Chains A and B, each alone.
Chain A
Amino acid sequence: MSNTKQIPRRGTLARAESRQALGFVSPALAGLALFTVVPVVLSIVMGFFNWPTFGEKTFVGLDNYVKLFTQSPDFWPALRNTFVFALLYVPISVGLSLLLAISLSARIRGRGMLRVLFFIPVVTPMVANVLVWKMMLQPQGLFNGLSQTWFGVELPNFLADPQWAMIMVVMMSVWQGLGYNMLIFSAALEQLPESVVEAARIDGARGFRMLWSVTLPMISPSLFFASIMTMITALQVFVQPQLLTGGGPGNATQPLVQFIYNQGFKFQELGLAAAAAWILFAIIIILTALQFRAQKKWVHYEH
């Protein structure tokens, strides 16, 4: 098995193998082409057309984009709602799950159990989660019932009040997504190299100092990953407002994706929907790129 013997054979073998490999991946490639590349390209094209579901499709250039920004009464509110949601959701979700992961990293009793408990909302279907939250939040629900019997105070109609509705959507989403980020952080915390931690301890690092100067920099790649993924899912939020508040009251909690859904599937304006989807895509790409640029300052990959 010496190197010299293999060199001449490796070329042909590798070529043969890569051909075979191509054969094996071709179903996947075909699937990718059919279900990803084609729709993506089609949606770019659609964005430049007035594309009703049936009837004449006409090329309108940038009209769809102009229409969105200048005429559509729901587009700016939807954009605003998406940003409000992301600005509230990302820091709270990342912060809380980090706190949970750190609290559960100490070897306390029953922490496995607690981790499972916090992870349950991630694996239960969103529809069921929303149903439970609705039963708690509506005027005849749990919270208002308890508050009235205990304190005689009538709580606001949470999901029907423009301000409260958004707060409740964020709260429900944080609760729903907490376990996932917690799991990522827990895994990172478990893998802190003993030697570094020990060295820091010998140098006298304790408590907050330890956390800020040693632990956080060490798990910064996980933090980076979690915040990017959380930001992307936050900008794509749809199910929670759709099911919990229906985008209402009015359009107070209608995010961009729900706007796109309504345009495309309720109003059958596929061109407008495609244009809005590409705006969302651009926003996500730009914000992700900015985060990647910023990571050089605070993410440390080498231990």
Chain B
Amino acid sequence: MKKIHVGAMAVATAAALVMTGCSTGGAEASSDTIVIDMWAGSQSDTDALNAQLAIAQEQNPDLKIELRTAPWGDFFTKLTTNTASGNMACVTGMNSGMLSSYTAGFAELTDADLKTAGLDPADFAPGSEEILSNKGTMYGLPFDIATMLVYYNQDMLDAAGAAVPQPGWTFDEFEATAKAATTDGKYGFAVGMGDFQWQALPIAKSGTQPVETDGTLDLTNPDFVDAATWYSGLVTDEKVAAPVASASDAGWGETQYSGGNAAMAVDGTWNAVTYLDNDSGFNAGMTTLPTGDNGSLGLILGSGFGIAKDCENKEDALKVLGSLLSADAQDYIASSGRSYPARVSSQPLYFESIDEQHRDQVEAVFTKAFEQVEGQKVSDNWSKVGTYIQPQLVSVYNGQESMSNVLESAQQQFGE
């Protein structure tokens, strides 16, 4: 019988090992440790986070702070499982576009909380409070802000003799440039597949978002439908953009642009530096979204940190959050050129980090682009809406389906 005990022991030990193996990823590595969970796609991302963690550590010498990272895509899958198993890190990174699916995991940030964290929203760029808010409840504050821009390939525009877009340009000028640059099998524009990328121009043109303030889906808003139909018409009617090849090309417009197949594309400010230093070697430029009869409405997006609802050590977590968004940490983000900081006083440092030949343009375009922005409104099932619409867009761009039909059937399916 002794050996059976040995066997049972082995099972128990193995199981114990496996189980502890599972739980070391959890938040409660030790109860007085504040865990920060954030996405990081590369070593340089992790290094930058560690530098911010060092700032937080310096400001809170008595706290133990720990960093956990995962690449962008995995981060949200992991967050889903961590939240489900009650292991969400006290200080968790969040992005404006993803928040609506995760509000259940985050605690509301009240004025008292912000005071504990040592943060004053007035120090942040206008609209910052809306970035990590959902239906009027604030769940976090951003460390960076972003909006959508039109990027252009200076070389292609010059070769086609098209006028170089200036900040504040109009939709007519946009169409003229796209038409002029469509020559020799190259296209003047590349349509987007991602929610932000394809909706940016329709939102700017119509001056309205496809969701109401209370989170009601409003995809069939006539102004938005008209603008979206005009957008898909760039491929099907105007033929100034190539039809998308496959629904799996989630970054179609951006790759067409960076691959030199299209002269213009819409993408976020977060990619400004990447495009300026593009691998293909063309001269890249940027400008604001075009202006139409309804102005040029843009979305203010961004990423930041929030506090987990079931965080046991909320006060300490708030202090860490405050440090991560402190002027020191924001100055670091800005001067490293990683992203455009939300704290107004740190923003000039970002422009200083940009290569001198692009600096004035980036500063002019960014300043102009953030003038007319509002927080993104999303419905509760916004990720479902996006997942439904994206593969349908392929049919729209290939002329097999109309934009208004797709928006209407999405509204019917997800509208309640």
Interface string of B61-94 (1 = CB under 8 A from A): 0000000000000000100110110000000000
A242 / chain B contacts, CB cutoff of 8 Å: 248
Q: Which residues in chain B, 243-296, are within 8 Å of chain A measured between CB atoms?
A: 243-250, 261
Minimal beta-carbon separation of B409 from chain A (angstroms): 9
B77 / chain A contacts, CB cutoff of 8 Å: 265
Cα separation A188 to B250 with both chains bound (whole Å): 44
Partner of A29 from B11, B18, B242 at Cβ < 8 Å: B11
| A246-B245 in contact (CB<8A) | no
Q: Which residues in chain A, 265-290, are within 8 Å of chain B measured between CB atoms?
A: 265-268
| A138-B245 in contact (CB<8A) | yes
Partner of B395 from A140, A250, A266 at Cβ < 8 Å: A250
| B397-A160 in contact (CB<8A) | yes
Binds A, one of B109-117, B139-147, B351-359, B384-392: B384-392
Binds A, one of B1-9, B34-42, B152-160, B339-347: B1-9
Interface string of A204-217 (1 = CB under 8 A from B): 00000000000000
Cα separation A246 to B245 with both chains bound (whole Å): 11
Number of residues in B with C-beta < 8 Å to the partner?
42
Cα separation A247 to B249 with both chains bound (whole Å): 11
Binds B, one of A15-23, A82-90, A106-114: A15-23
| B248-A54 in contact (CB<8A) | no
Cα separation A247 to B15 with both chains bound (whole Å): 39
A267 touching B14 in the complex, CB below 8 Å, given contacts A244-B246, A248-B247: no
Partner of A26 from B14, B84, B246 at Cβ < 8 Å: B14
Partner of B245 from A16, A34, A157, A162 at Cβ < 8 Å: A157
| A26-B7 in contact (CB<8A) | yes
Q: Is B202 an interface residue (CB 8 A)?
A: no
| A160-B394 in contact (CB<8A) | yes
Interface hub of B7, B104, B394 (most chain A Cβ within 10 A): B394
Minimal beta-carbon separation of B416 from chain A (angstroms): 12
| B244-A160 in contact (CB<8A) | yes
Minimal beta-carbon separation of A1 from chain B (angstroms): 26
Cα separation A267 to B242 with both chains bound (whole Å): 31
Interface string of A1-30 (1 = CB under 8 A from B): 000000000000000100110110011011
A27 touching B400 in the complex, CB below 8 Å, given contacts A139-B243, A262-B387, A268-B101: no
Interface hub of A26, A31, A139, A242 (most chain B Cβ within 10 A): A26
Which partner residue on chain B sits nearest A263 by CB separation?
A: B384
Which partner residue on chain B sits nearest A138 by CB separation?
A: B245
Cα separation A103 to B154 with both chains bound (whole Å): 56
B10 / chain A contacts, CB cutoff of 8 Å: 23, 26-27
B398 / chain A contacts, CB cutoff of 8 Å: 157, 160-161, 249
B101 / chain A contacts, CB cutoff of 8 Å: 268
Which partner residue on chain A sits nearest B409 by CB separation?
A: A73
Minimal beta-carbon separation of B99 from chain A (angstroms): 14
Cα separation A138 to B249 with both chains bound (whole Å): 11
Q: Is A55 an interface residue (CB 8 A)?
A: yes
Q: Is B367 an interface residue (CB 8 A)?
A: no
A23 touching B3 in the complex, CB below 8 Å, given contacts A137-B245, A162-B395, A248-B247: yes
B83 / chain A contacts, CB cutoff of 8 Å: 53-54
Which partner residue on chain A sits nearest B381 by CB separation?
A: A267
Q: Is A245 an interface residue (CB 8 A)?
A: yes
| A31-B243 in contact (CB<8A) | no
A157 touching B243 in the complex, CB below 8 Å, given contacts A249-B391, A251-B391, A265-B77: yes
Interface string of B6-34 (1 = CB under 8 A from A): 11101100110010000000000000000
Cα separation A162 to B395 with both chains bound (whole Å): 8
Partner of B400 from A29, A134, A161 at Cβ < 8 Å: A161
8 A-B pairs with the lowest CB-CB distances in the bound complex, closest first:
A248-B247, A248-B391, A246-B248, A246-B247, A138-B245, A159-B246, A23-B7, A249-B394
Contacts A246-B249, A254-B391 aside, 6 further interface pairs with beta carbons under 8 A come to A19-B7, A27-B14, A30-B14, A160-B243, A249-B391, A250-B401
Enumerate 19 A-B pairs (CB-CB under 8 Å) in ascending A order: A19-B4, A26-B7, A26-B10, A26-B11, A26-B14, A34-B15, A55-B104, A134-B245, A137-B245, A157-B243, A157-B398, A160-B395, A243-B248, A244-B246, A245-B247, A246-B247, A246-B249, A246-B391, A248-B392
B residues lining the A interface (CB < 8 Å): 3-4, 6-8, 10-11, 14-15, 18, 77, 80-81, 83-84, 101, 104-105, 242-250, 261, 381, 383-384, 387, 390-392, 394-395, 397-398, 400-401, 413
